[in-house]
Amino acid sequence: MTSRPKKLGIMAIRNKAVLAALCVGFLLGAAWAQGGGELRFCLRTEPKTFDPLKVEDDASASIRYLTGGVLVRLNRQTQALEPELAQSWKVSKDGRQITFKLRSGILFSDGTPFSAEDVAYTMQRLMDPALHSATGDAFRSGTGNLETKVISANQVSITFPAPVAGLDRLFDQVAIVSAHSAKKETAVLGPFMVSDYKPGATVLLKRNPNYWKKDAQGRQLPYLDSIRLDIQPNRDVEMLRFKRGEVDLINSLDAEYFDKLAASSPELVHDAGPSLDSEQLWFNEVAKAPIAGYKKNWFRSTSFRRAISAAINREDLSRVVYHGHAQPAAGPFSPANKFWFNSRLKPLACNPDTALKALQSEGFVLENGTLRDREGNGVEFSIITNAGSKPRERMATMIQEDLQKIGIHVNVVTLDFPSLIERMTQSFDYEAIILGLTNVDLDPNGEMNVWLSSAENHQWNPQQKTPETSWEAEIDRLMRVQASSADSKKRKEAFDRVQEIVVEQAPFIFLINRNALSAVSIKVQGASPVILSPQTFWNAERLTVEGAK
């Protein structure tokens, strides 16, 4: 009889202990879960890597942005460089050396301490020629090896073999990896860390419990508990899911969807103004291209290219294809690039009469609605572009009609991307092409491989042994001047002149700069879409989602 009360007593004690444990757990859990909710959006492609040093595609870059800790961060809103893991930094006068003073007491997500050794290790790995990293190649301004010097636990200097223009800004892309952690590149310093990955379906990021940053009120960042990234290449499906509330934001919204959403829910859409992206048309000027000789003569003629440029109605392209969410392009850089854009340049107005007169002065004749050259060849060429890009397909069709007005017959051919690249870079079996530049750097040094005549990506006539024209030689000289100078005024002058030459000679016929369009659910607090990538989640550590499912 006496055993029962004892049992009850023991059970009572046990129950109280369990209850107490539950309460503690709840409180801890409450502290752990900031209550910021889960942010959900889509990646357009499968991420190829989670190694921040090997990032080469947009999806992997987004994950790197959210998980990687960087020494300095380019504030996407103010476009100013801000300290992050580095408290301060100094670039030497010759632009070859940078010294960082690091914050102390910072841990990687797995608890490994962060120090100058990690920075040195990261840079050595990044600049390993065998890695072939696009991030690393951005630092490569000359031959020779990089030198890293760990001055103290919190100080490190990095010396490059040649001056690197805009050196400090490049570190915005360098996510520091641990030299000592057993978890290698999965140990991160950013606000989130990869928690789960279902190939083809989802990437789940959870809050980094060791993230070093706090807000002004001393509250631990990030506010969000997690971010779920669904892999969804189709924009129609992404839009459907956004409307149903299954995703919280669309980072890059098509113009037609923007208008449809704006009509029903204007508070959800954001037009941040002209982005840095551009769309352009160019002609094949490669001497060994397997196209007819008389066509090569046309394409290599500056007057011909400028006439074509004058015949294209850029206003219509902006208004029709982009529903007014774009503006005619003036030159290589968008006016959104406030410092580097040459404000003296203006978009070329559409004037078919001027275009025709210019062509006639070159010996072209309009006969029965067909333009013919001096030798009597009808002016006909093809424009290729990548299939699946509706804006480019529509622009090509509109340009086809614009040029028809001056007697030029254009055939529009859409190709799958690998076939297009093959024609553009290997066989050179094309006549004209419409493509665009996206995720463009603010600093023109990021486009050295476009403007140098010897470079691979000098699209209209790549890999020239020596510049084939005097204006390309001049562009080469000016780009080298701006790359080797630390004086921003001198660099600006040089690049302004590059922009002027490009507009005068028209190797690229710049069409439009589209606006940075995005959509953000009202449940997301703190969002402030900008033009620089990532437009909507650049401040992910300070976002919250109300009433998340």
Partner 1 sequence: MSVWRALACAVLLAVISVSLAAQWLAPQGYAKQYREATEAAPSRAHWLGTDEIGRDRFARVLYGTRVSLLLAPAAALLSTLLAALIGGLAGYLGGAWARLAMATTDLFLSLPWLFLLITARALMPLNVSPLVSVLVTFSLLGILGWTTAARVLCASAASLARSDFVLQARASGVPGVRLFWIHVMPNLKPVLYAQFWISIPVFILSEANLGILGLGVAEPMPSWGSLLRELEGLVSVGEAPWKLVPLALLVVVVTSFQLLLSKQEEVAV
Partner 2 sequence: MLLWRLARHALNLLAIVLLGGFISATLVRLAPGFDVDEQQLDPHLSAASIQALRDARLRDRNIFRFYLHSLQRAAHGDLGTSLSLRQPVRTLIRERGPLTLRLVALGLALAWAMALALALSAARLRIGAYDALTTFISGTLLCIPAAVLALLSVLWNLPGSLAIALIVFPRVYRYTRNLLAKAYSLPHIVTARAKGLGEGRILLWHAIPVVGPQLLAVAGVSVSMAVGAAIPVEALCGLAGIGQLAWQAALARDLPLLVNLTVLVTLVTLLANSGADVIGHMLRSQEA
Q: Is 150 or 413 the residue whose CB approaches partner 1 more closely?
A: 413
Q: How far, rounded to the nearest angstrom, does the alpha carbon of residue 72 sit from its chain's CA centroid?
A: 18
**Which one of 100-108, 194-202, 378-386, 492-500 is the stretch in contact with partner 1 (CB under 8 A)?**
378-386
Strand, coil or helix: 277:
coil
In the chain the first and final C-alpha atoms are separated, in Å, by 52
Figure out which of the listed residues 416, 487, 504, 546 binds partner 1, where binding follows CB under 8 A: 416
Rounded to 5°, the CA angle 232-236-240 comes to 90
324 binds partner 1 (CB under 8 A): no
State how far the Cα of 117 lies from the Cα of 108, in Å rounded to an integer.
Answer: 13
- Which residues 6+ apart lie within 8 Å of 490 measured at CB? 481, 482
Question: Which residues, numbered 422-451, are part of the site for partner 1 (CB under 8 A)?
Answer: 429-431
Helix, strand, coil share (%) of the chain residues, nearest 5: 35, 20, 40
Kindly identify the residues of this chain, within the stretch 90-109, that bind partner 1 according to CB under 8 A. Answer: none
Task: Give the shortest CB-149-to-partner 2 separation in angstroms.
Answer: 25
| Residue pair 528/542 in contact by the 8 Å Cβ criterion | no
**Sign of the CA dihedral running 445, 448, 452, 458:** negative
213 to 252: interface string for partner 1, x by CB under 8 A = -----------------------x--xx--x---------
Binding residue for partner 1, selected from 79, 202, 382, 457, defined by CB under 8 A? 382
Query: What distance in Å separates the CA atoms of residue 286 and residue 296, rounded to the nearest whole number?
Result: 8
Nearer to partner 2, 354 or 382 (CB): 382
Q: Does residue number 162 form part of the binding site for partner 1 (CB under 8 A)?
A: no
Q: Which of 25, 29, 111, 129 binds partner 2 (CB under 8 A)?
A: 129
Nearer to partner 1, 15 or 234 (CB): 234
Strand pairing class (508-520; 249-250): antiparallel
**For partner 2, which residue of 120, 127, 308, 448 counts as binding (CB under 8 A)?**
448
Under the criterion CB under 8 A, does residue 161 sit at the interface with partner 2?
no
Closest alpha carbon to 544 in 226, 104, 101, 183: 226
Residue pair 138/170 in contact (Cβ under 8 Å)? The answer is yes
Q: Which stretch binds partner 2 (CB under 8 A): 199-207, 256-264, 338-346, 510-518?
A: 199-207
Residue 64 or 295: the one with the smaller Cβ distance to partner 1 is 295
Cβ contacts of 360 within 8 Å, gap of 6 or more = 366
CB of 240 to partner 2, least distance (A): 6
What is the C-alpha to C-alpha distance for residues 434 and 412, in angstroms, rounded to an integer?
A: 10
68 within 8 A of 191, measured Cβ to Cβ = no
> Closer CB to partner 2, residue 49 or residue 148?
49
Closer CB to partner 2, residue 82 or residue 137? Answer: 137
DSSP state of 348: P
499-518 binders of partner 2 (CB under 8 A)? none
Residue 385 near residue 397 (C-beta atoms within 8 A): no
Contact between 320 and partner 1 by CB under 8 A: the answer reads yes
Of 66-74, 190-198, 394-402, 530-538, the segment contacting partner 1 by CB under 8 A is 394-402
- Measured from the CB atom, the residue of 64 and 423 that comes closer to partner 1 is 423
Q: Which of 297, 397, 454, 457 binds partner 1 (CB under 8 A)?
A: 397
**How many residues of this chain interact with partner 2, rule: CB under 8 A?**
46
Give the 3-state DSSP-derived string for 507-524, with helices as H, strands as E and coil as C: CEEEEEEEEEEEEECCCE
CA angle, 268 then 273 then 279, to 5°: 115
Residue 25 to residue 545: CA distance in whole angstroms: 24
**How far apart, in whole angstroms, are the C-alpha atoms of residue 187 and residue 180?**
10
Structure letter (DSSP) for residue 182: T
Return the residue of 14, 132, 338, 477 that touches partner 2, per CB under 8 A. 132
Q: Are the C-beta atoms of 454 and 464 separated by less than 8 Å?
A: yes
Q: What distance in Å separates the CA atoms of residue 111 and residue 482, rounded to the nearest whole number?
A: 43
Q: Is 415 in the site for partner 1 (CB under 8 A)?
A: yes
Size of the residue set binding partner 1 (CB under 8 A): 35
Site for partner 2 in 288-347 (CB under 8 A): none
| Choices 3-11, 181-189, 313-321, 458-466; region in contact with partner 1 by CB under 8 A | 313-321
Identify the CA nearest to 533 among candidates 543, 544, 518, 521: 518
Report if residue 400 touches partner 1, rule: CB under 8 A. yes
Binds partner 2 (CB under 8 A): choice among 77, 446, 525, 526: 446
Q: Are strands 380-386 and 409-415 parallel, antiparallel or unpaired?
A: parallel
- Which residues does 298 contact at the CB level (< 8 Å), separation at least 6? 283, 304, 373, 379, 381
Of 1-9, 28-36, 233-241, 317-325, the segment contacting partner 2 by CB under 8 A is 233-241
352 is an interface residue for partner 1 by CB under 8 A: no
Residue 235 or 497: the one with the smaller Cβ distance to partner 1 is 235
198 binds, among partner 2, partner 1, none (CB under 5 to 8 A by kind): partner 2
- Any residues with CB less than 8 A from the CB of 251 and at least 6 apart, and which? 41, 518, 533, 534, 535, 536, 537
Residue 419 sits in the site that holds partner 1 (CB under 8 A): yes
Residues in contact with partner 2, shown as a per-residue x/- string from 383 to 422 under the rule CB under 8 A: ---------------------------------xxxxxxx
Q: Is 456 in the site for partner 2 (CB under 8 A)?
A: yes
Structure tokens at 430: 């094309």
Residue number, 87 or 234, with CB nearest to partner 2: 234
User: Where on the chain is the footprint of partner 2 (CB under 8 A)?
Assistant: 46, 48-49, 56-57, 129, 132-135, 137-138, 140, 198-201, 230-234, 236-237, 240-241, 416-423, 425-427, 437, 446-450, 455-457
User: Where on the chain is the footprint of partner 1 (CB under 8 A)?
Assistant: 236, 239-240, 243, 256-257, 260, 316, 319-321, 380-382, 384, 387-388, 390, 393-394, 396-398, 400-401, 411-416, 419, 429-431
